[in-house]
Amino acid sequence: MEKPEREQPARRPGGHHSTRSSSRDDADVCVVFPGLVTRESCCSFTCELLKHILHQRDQLPLPYEQLVLFCRGHQGSNEVMRRPIKEASDSRQCQRSLSDLAELMSQLEVFFTLTPVPRVLLLLGGSPVSPKEMYVIDMEGIQVGNGEQSLSPRPCLRQLFRALFVADPFSDLRSSSLMTLVLMVQGHRDCATEWFRPKLNYKVPTRGHTLTIKLSSNGESASDLSDDYIWFQAPITIKGFQN
């Protein structure tokens, strides 16, 4: 499958709530939402960014939704037997990666119902303590609300991806080889998660390329975390694949 050409970044309009550092190894994109945001929306932001980053960093040959349609169109053992071996292998790899992604996102939905989530780390390549690339989703500054008090998730997602499009943080990065992705999520130590594994002594890496996506509400600054918040690691890794 050939990867579709990406749009060229638009010129940054004045007054947009996004910034980018000048360093090639450390970039920031800041998004300020004009109101309260639900935990469910925060989970949606995390899942959409996970899918987007995997595609942008050449770990998925197509956007996630297109891959789902592709795999659905190649299901059935008889059809697999009729196709060339490499194509069948690609289809199996596609289904395996999508299955792992679906499981990870499903478990994230559960985790966000158990605890506030200040930060999520998406670690590509290397190891969790020394990744080649780290993507930080910083949600400490988000003001959480419920029900009708909160913003609808769709406009928030549009605002988030508009900021990413304008900042264009991936354009300076070289095409990458296949890597594995490890997800770390921060939550309350007593959240009683049954799937994520607590990592009491985990330290956020300080080396390698880092992109921080900082989300907040109405310009509120991030609050200091207490010792009651620790890192949890997803028990599965997402393996990239290409065609």
| CATH no. of 26-239 | 3.30.900.20
| Mean pLDDT split into 10-residue runs, the chain, 243 residues | 42 38 67 95 97 94 86 56 47 84 97 97 95 96 89 96 93 85 97 96 92 87 75 95 76
pTM: 0.82
d(CA 194, CA 50) in angstroms, rounded, equals 22
Q: Are the beta carbons of 173 and 132 closer than 8 angstroms?
A: no
- pLDDT score of 2: 43
Q: How far apart are CA 167 and CA 88, in angstroms?
A: 38
78 CB-near residues (< 8 Å, 6+ apart): none
Cα separation, 77 vs 30, whole angstroms: 47
Tokens 């050409």 -> residue: 5
Query: Which of 174, 127, 147 has its CA nearest to residue 25?
Result: 174
Q: How far from 104 is each of 166, 195, 208, CA to CA, in Å?
A: 29, 10, 24
Compute CA distances 200 → 12, 186, 227, whole Å: 41, 11, 10
* Domain residue ranges of the chain, discontinuous segments joined by +: 26-239
Cβ(179)–Cβ(170) below 8 Å: no
